[in-house]
Amino acid sequence: MKIFSLTLAISLGLAAAPAAVAAVAPPSVEAFFENPDFSGAIISPSGKHVAAKVGAKGKRNMLAVVDLATQKIQIVAHFSDTDIANVKWVNEQRLVFDTNDRQAAQGDAMYAPGLYAVDRDGARFKQLASRRGQGFKQSSAQRDLLPWHTVMHRQAGLPESEWTYVQDLQFNGKETVSDVRLLRVNTVTGRSQLVERPGDVVAWLLDQEGRARLAYMLNKDVVEIKVRDDESAPWRTLASFKAFTPDANAMDPVAFGADNTLYVRTNRGADKASIFRLDLASGKMDDKPLITLEGFDFGGRLVMRGGKLVGVHYLQDGEGTQWFDPALQALQADVDKLLPQTVNMLDLPTDLQAQNVLVRAFSDIRPASYYVFDRSTKKLNKVGDTYSGIVPDQMGQQEQVRIVARDGQEVPTMLTLPPQKEAKKLPMVVLVHGGPYTRGTTWGWKPEVQFLASRGYAVLEPEFRGSTGYGRRHFLSGWKQWGLKMQDDIADATKWAIATGYADPQRICIAGASYGGYATLMGLVNDPGLYRCGINWVGVTDIKLLFTGHWMYRDDASETWRRYGMPELIGDPVKDAERFKATSPIEQAHRITQPLLMAYGGADLRVPLVHGTRLRDAIRSNNRQVEWVEYETEGHGFHVPANRIDFWSRVERFLDRQIGQPLEPK
């Protein structure tokens, strides 16, 4: 196979991928947490070109375009002070993209993402939106551009046109968006047109012809979905329902189809959410679902071509695809035959008869690689590897298991076992996801999980109640259960790992970020005999402080979420004050006696630094086994590679000291 990534490295004078390390030595921490040299690709509407983001250690991400007929590669855009980020084909000739400084933490950010367009040969470069504005220096020339808070719209938009859609984000004076205004912008001239809107909109959906026909609105705690028959027709209400409490009318529009059809995701009285077809003319929904995933809420993306539903990319324990078109089923089979060790997700050009298809291939032990499949020759050409320093044989295999909690409720849990070790009495890290009201795990390679597995640790990731994706009952049963049944699920999953023989009961550490950091701390409080140590980064330590905020620190919680959402999902700060005290780590600091690693960002707007400093000081009054690190300019998570590498190096040393070796028998 001809490897485009190697050609790119040579033509740009970049370092080639490192040779595989010896089997006895795991990949370095840098191999997991440096910015990837190659970070994705997209295929053009005709399938004749591929746009890719390429870079190297210490280099900025650049935008390259590959002509698949000639295999000629050309860099069409790059900057000296920032990196290419999101990229989208406008038409066969033109691309639109924005930027993101991968070397700057949140507190060091000097520029907005900006918005740019360029031809596939590098011609007609055009800046569309400013990178400077409120909080940024702005020149007079940039005042002719769209404002700095203009961002790309995720959908492709107007087919075979120089125009695309962008979003003008309106802020409410804090860090939260209160209104999203949709604009058409000509990517050659920069001319823009505001799309008529029915009021303050938080999300838009385009139909298959690129027309803005659905607006998602949020007023206090009520969602209203507005639709229109075409761009000259008046807006009308399709549905209205409560945003933060269970409502039988709730639905999530997914895609427009042909003949005035809308595909929506809803429960329709069932526990699991499915895809239903809704007729916009009559407002009636089919009685039976069109797509249902056994054991899971529907998650994924419908693949539409010519207004027709040709397939679905879905998410169960991991990603998968179901094609409804026989020709596409045969295409998938051809690719899978060539790549039998990976899950292979196909990215189709707009033209279903196009010669080339882009493939994203991955597994639990293999990071994503991108290929182009030629349908005429039935051959693959590699475009690039996202993490070139990873050796699959040194990664851990994954499986989702279903454990039963103490009250009988099923808890989906991802188990990753370290390579080349007997799966018996292993040191284990119980890794708790953040959110908490989100899907936490997906089968597939993840740097944090596989870094731990490569160091010899089993990794257990419970999808505690309150996690999404596993049905209405599982989600709702986690409401107002911080530190209670949500915490019990994590403990019960840990006890399952001990009972089945996977985990050494004397060598288990609990870890997590954000809500996962909170659960780490409450695990040390509630189950001190279960966890030998804890690792908390950017974790919540005071539930009351989530509601009140702190006079010294900004936070990014919207007033709508704080007023309507948090009381329903977390609790009422007045009525539930005693529960908040009993389940806040800051109030239980005297009970945390195990070794603890804590890391926070000084510029965090989600969980401000005061959460960490107060708890650190409270624990240290009776527990000197607290290791503390603050990354002064980082936000809610660690953006700068040097900081990620430093943090995970600390994690490696901490775990080695605490659970790396079996305890000597007394």
pLDDT band at 549 (very low <50, low <70, confident <90, very high): confident
- CA-CA-CA-CA torsion sign (484, 480, 273, 327): negative
- Average pLDDT of the chain, as a whole number: 91
Alpha helices in 228-296 (DSSP H): none
**CATH number of the domain encompassing residue 409:** 3.40.50.1820
Which domain range does residue 628 map to? 395-659
* Residue 492 tokens, joined: 């019960």
Distance set, CA 149 to CA 196, 211, 647 (Å): 19, 22, 32
294: left (phi over 0), alpha (psi -120 to 50) or beta: beta
For residues 146 and 166, the answer to whether their CB atoms sit within 8 Å is yes
pLDDT at 174: 62
Average pLDDT over residues 420-447: 95
Starting from the edge strand earliest in sequence, which strands make up the sheet with 49-54, in order? 38-43, 49-54, 62-67, 72-77
Q: Of residues 554 and 33, which shows the higher confidence score? A: 33
SS3 content of the chain, % helix, strand, coil (to 5): 20, 35, 45
Rounded distance between C-alpha atoms, residue 351 and residue 57, angstroms: 36
Rounded distance between C-alpha atoms, residue 167 and residue 489, angstroms: 40
Percent of the chain with pLDDT over 90: 84
Give how far the C-alpha of residue 305 lies from the chain's centroid of Cα atoms, to the nearest Å: 26
pLDDT at 67: 96
Residue 263 predicted with pLDDT over 60: yes
Residue 483 predicted with pLDDT over 80: yes
Starting from the edge strand earliest in sequence, which strands make up the sheet with 397-404, in order? 397-404, 410-417, 458-462, 426-432, 503-513, 533-537, 596-601, 626-631
pLDDT at 139: 44
Average pLDDT over residues 4-9: 36
pLDDT at 133: 58
Task: Average the pLDDT over each of 124-133, 448-457, 592-601 and give the range with the smallest value.
Answer: 124-133
Rounded distance between C-alpha atoms, residue 542 and residue 437, angstroms: 18
Rounded distance between C-alpha atoms, residue 250 and residue 247, angstroms: 6
> In sequence order, what are the residues at sequence separation of 6 or more whose Cβ sits closer than 8 angstroms to the Cβ of residue 84?
53, 60, 61, 62, 63, 77, 78, 97, 99
Task: Average the pLDDT over each of 48-62, 113-127, 569-583, 598-612 and give the range with the smallest value.
Answer: 48-62
pLDDT at 108: 74
pLDDT digits (tens, 9 = 90+) for 147-161: 999 999 999 877 789
Task: Average the pLDDT over each of 77-81, 550-554, 651-655 and give the range with the smallest value.
Answer: 550-554
Closest among 147, 163, 241, 148 to 195, alpha carbons compared:
163
* Residue 546 tokens, joined: 């989530």
In a domain, 119, yes or no: no
Q: Side chain identity at 487, as an amino acid letter?
A: Q
pLDDT at 13: 33
Starting from the edge strand earliest in sequence, which strands make up the sheet with 222-227, in order? 203-206, 212-219, 222-227, 236-242
In a domain, 257, yes or no: no
Place of tokens 């780590």: 585
pLDDT digits (tens, 9 = 90+) for 216-227: 999 999 999 999
Is the previous residue joined to 18 through a cis bond, with omega within 30 degrees of 0?
Answer: no
3-class secondary-structure state, position 384: strand
pLDDT digits (tens, 9 = 90+) for 212-262: 999 999 999 999 999 999 999 999 999 999 999 999 999 999 999 988 999
Place of tokens 């936000």: 635
Residue 175 predicted with pLDDT over 50: yes
pLDDT digits (tens, 9 = 90+) for 489-540: 999 999 999 999 999 999 999 999 999 999 999 999 999 999 999 999 999 9
- Looking from the CA of 318 toward its CB, the CA atoms found within 13 Å total 17
Place of tokens 């440096």: 34
Query: With helix as H, strand as E and coil as C, how does 101-169 read?
Result: CCCCCHHHCCCCCCEEEEECCCCCCEEEECCCCCCCCCCCHHHHCECCCEEECCCCCCCCCCEEEEEEE
Rounded distance between C-alpha atoms, residue 167 and residue 147, angstroms: 10
For the chain, the first-to-last Cα distance in angstroms comes to 58
Nearest-5° Cα angle at 121, 115 to 126: 25
What's the pTM value of the predicted model, to 2 decimals?
0.93
Q: Which residues is 96 bridged to in the sheet?
A: 88, 117
pLDDT at 551: 53
Average pLDDT over residues 256-270: 94
Residue 141 predicted with pLDDT over 60: no
Burial of 144 (0-12, 13-18, 19+ CB in 10 A): exposed
pLDDT at 329: 97
Average pLDDT over residues 48-58: 90
Structure letter (DSSP) for residue 562: I
For residues 469 and 296, the answer to whether their CB atoms sit within 8 Å is yes
Rounded distance between C-alpha atoms, residue 612 and residue 618, angstroms: 10
Give how far the C-alpha of residue 585 lies from the chain's centroid of Cα atoms, to the nearest Å: 27
Biggest distance spanned by C-alpha atoms of the chain: 81
In a domain, 54, yes or no: no
In a domain, 228, yes or no: no
Q: How many domains does the chain have?
A: 1
pLDDT digits (tens, 9 = 90+) for 446-456: 999 999 999 99
Q: CA 156, 161, 162, 164: dihedral to nearest 10 degrees? A: -30
In a domain, 533, yes or no: yes
pLDDT at 104: 82
Distance set, CA 566 to CA 173, 178, 244, 245 (Å): 20, 18, 9, 11
Residue 440 predicted with pLDDT over 60: yes
Closest among 476, 480, 505, 471 to 491, alpha carbons compared:
505
In a domain, 317, yes or no: no
The β-bridge relationship of strands 596-601 and 533-537 is parallel
pLDDT digits (tens, 9 = 90+) for 280-310: 999 999 999 999 999 999 999 999 988 899 9
pLDDT band at 574 (very low <50, low <70, confident <90, very high): very high
Rounded distance between C-alpha atoms, residue 634 and residue 408, angstroms: 41
pLDDT digits (tens, 9 = 90+) for 614-650: 999 999 999 999 999 999 999 999 999 999 999 999 9
Structure letter (DSSP) for residue 457: -
Residue 6 predicted with pLDDT over 80: no
Residue 8 predicted with pLDDT over 50: no
pLDDT digits (tens, 9 = 90+) for 92-114: 999 999 999 988 887 777 788 99
Q: CA 577, 582, 583, 584: dihedral to nearest 10 degrees? A: 80
In a domain, 343, yes or no: no
In a domain, 349, yes or no: no
Q: CA 94, 111, 8, 350: dihedral to nearest 10 degrees? A: -30
Residue 368 predicted with pLDDT over 70: yes
